[in-house]
Structure 1
Amino acid sequence: MDGTGYARPVIPQGDPPTQDAQVRPQSLMLSFLGVHVLNRGVAVFSGSVIDVFARVGVSEEAVRSTLTRMVKRDLLARHRDGRRMYFGLTARSAAVLEDGEHRVWRSGAVNNDWDGTWTMVGFSLPESWRSLRHDLRSRLVWGGFGPLQNALWVAPGVVDVTDLVHDLDLNEHLKVFTARTAKPTEADQIVHAAFDVPAIAERYRAFLRRWDRDHPLPGAPDDLARQLLLHTEWLQLVRQDPRLPAEHLPRDWPAIRAEQVFRTLAEAYRQPASSIAESVLETIPVEGSSAGV
């Protein structure tokens, strides 16, 4: 759980967070599914998905490859209707998307309710376990942790580390604590020692440079394309953000303005994008979130 009492993100296997600003097709696909498929009880024809993704410059080959990979990762299920193939959610992808919905609309980008608690994780892995060490660090970053010092990581709030790393089978190699700072250590020191605060701020400023204007993305063909790109970029931002306590951040923290811009644009695009999607998407009803072919 995070500092607000909600579960930390469900992590799609093989798709850890990245600092790279380039948007990957799977990230776009998850945004598309979250906005237009989640909780609707439908599967979407692959051809209409290709039509949507062409609007943001993703090729048919890339879309088909992404759909195939997501099936293999149990993030999509195939549904055949005649000669046509449709794709619907699985229980796993529904959990991923519901987590994203929570991060975007409920927990928010600004942590104003931190209670002073930190979760600390210490670990010791053999040198030969390089791949596992990489996976563990990726999971910790995803869960809002930063490296305080060698093999000691820290995150604001109470984090369910067991859930975060459950499939890595490393419980015997981890030491997990919840703690508060004590003199002479100050919380502000922890924030700036374990996290690259300027880099986090710059990601939000980059978002504002693209979106905080009268007519964002003038080259996009329509509001469905803008909606898809907006939601994808914002979700990547909030999932890379450890939600550091606002009281230990600059007063002009750019996430405040960025979240206002996101919410305003998301509402502006919602109805026109929905109308376009209804005219483009061909769907069939499916029973349950994980129904198979």
Structure 2
Amino acid sequence: MSRMPDAVVPPPVEGVILDDIDARPGSTASLLRTFIGLYLRRLDDWISAADLVRIAGFLGIPAATARTGVTRLKQKGLLLAEREGGIGYRLNPAAIPMLERGDRRIFEVRQMALGDPWCLLSFSIPETRRDLRHQLRRRLQWIGCGMVSPALWICPGYLQDEVKEILTELHAREWATLFRTQTPEVAGPLADAVSGWWDLTALRAEHELFQESIAPLPDDAPGPFAAYVRLIDAWRVLPYRDPGLPAALLPADWPGHRSFAAHARLSAQLAGPAWDFVRTAIADRASARPDDGAALSAD
């Protein structure tokens, strides 16, 4: 039976902008976050309040719901309210490393091979810092690490830098030791150990849910923009949850290969037209509006 981290989840560590792992794909918060991650840097890190609400409408989000969702993203530290010829929102510079890390996961699929190095993380955090211990376990699980024991975690070697970033962000580096190893020696088959370190049943279900959710795309979406944002929104969690374990250590009918192929095929089809839509929609709006302030308050 696979072991899972402690169920108690404390508030985020102060000053750390966390990936919004609680936002359910397809929800307002998740769709807005996906749009911002995809496009705001390409729009010079700023968007008018009116444009953001208008763009949300193309994703099927009512204006009032969109405003509430934007407020949440401000509270999470992703957006900053800022005037730039009108009321709008700027991407928080402190969030850019997180988004760049997300880009690598979402668009650069990695697959471990047998014989590639593994990374082991051992930590001993004082009992007085139980909140930090919970945060660390939660973040490790989020990036796809497996749990050998509550204080010993494992992941493909290419995730080591992300583990270090988490330790640094949580100010936990002094209590942790990292090791590199080629092949962990276990009592039985390594595949059996892997199925205990990772919850493969839950991961399989996530792949199957992703495939089910994108089956109607792009035919049921009102244009390539909505189809692409919904594709990435449904996909963006999977490259974190699934660390890319060696195929030889996974069940023969593992659905991950189908998920990766479907994402690549639809991305190639939709990404260009979706960006053309965003660029044109915002340019047309900018030339038509006299002042964003008349349309929406930036809270």
| Higher relative contact order, chain-length normalized (CA < 8 Å, sep 6+) | 1
- Distance, in Å, in 1 between the alignment partners of 2:240 and 2:106 is 9
List gaps (5 residues or longer) in structure 2: 1-14, 287-299
Q: What does 1:3-82 align with in structure 2 at a 5 Å threshold? A: 13-15=17-19, 17-18=21-22, 21-41=24-44, 43-82=46-85
* Backbone CA RMSD of aligned residues: 2.9
Aligned length: 268
Q: What does 1:131-280 align with in structure 2 at a 5 Å threshold? A: 131-158=131-158, 159-160=160-161, 161-179=163-181, 180-182=183-185, 184=187, 186-212=189-215, 215-216=216-217, 219-280=220-281
- Distance, in Å, in 2 between the alignment partners of 1:140 and 1:147 is 9
What amino acid does structure 2 have at the position aligned with 1:229?
Answer: R
- The residue aligned with 1:97 is 99
8 Å contact from structure 2 (residues 25, 31) kept in 1:
no
- Distance, in Å, in 2 between the alignment partners of 1:273 and 1:182 is 48
8 Å contact from structure 1 (residues 118, 156) kept in 2:
yes
Q: Percent identity, aligned pairs only?
A: 25
What amino acid does structure 2 have at the position aligned with 1:139?
Answer: R
TM-score when normalising by structure 1: 0.78
8 Å contact from structure 1 (residues 51, 280) kept in 2:
no
Cα deviation, residue 151, structure 1: 2.3
List gaps (5 residues or longer) in structure 1: 1-10, 285-293
State which drifts further: 217-226 or 128-137.
Answer: 217-226
Cα deviation, residue 185, structure 1: 5.2
- Distance, in Å, in 2 between the alignment partners of 1:93 and 1:177 is 29
8 Å contact from structure 2 (residues 25, 234) kept in 1:
no
What amino acid does structure 2 have at the position aligned with 1:88?
Answer: R
- The residue aligned with 1:290 is none
Cα deviation, residue 267, structure 1: 2.4
Cα deviation, residue 51, structure 1: 1.7
Pair 1:33–1:12, CA change in 2 (3 A):
farther
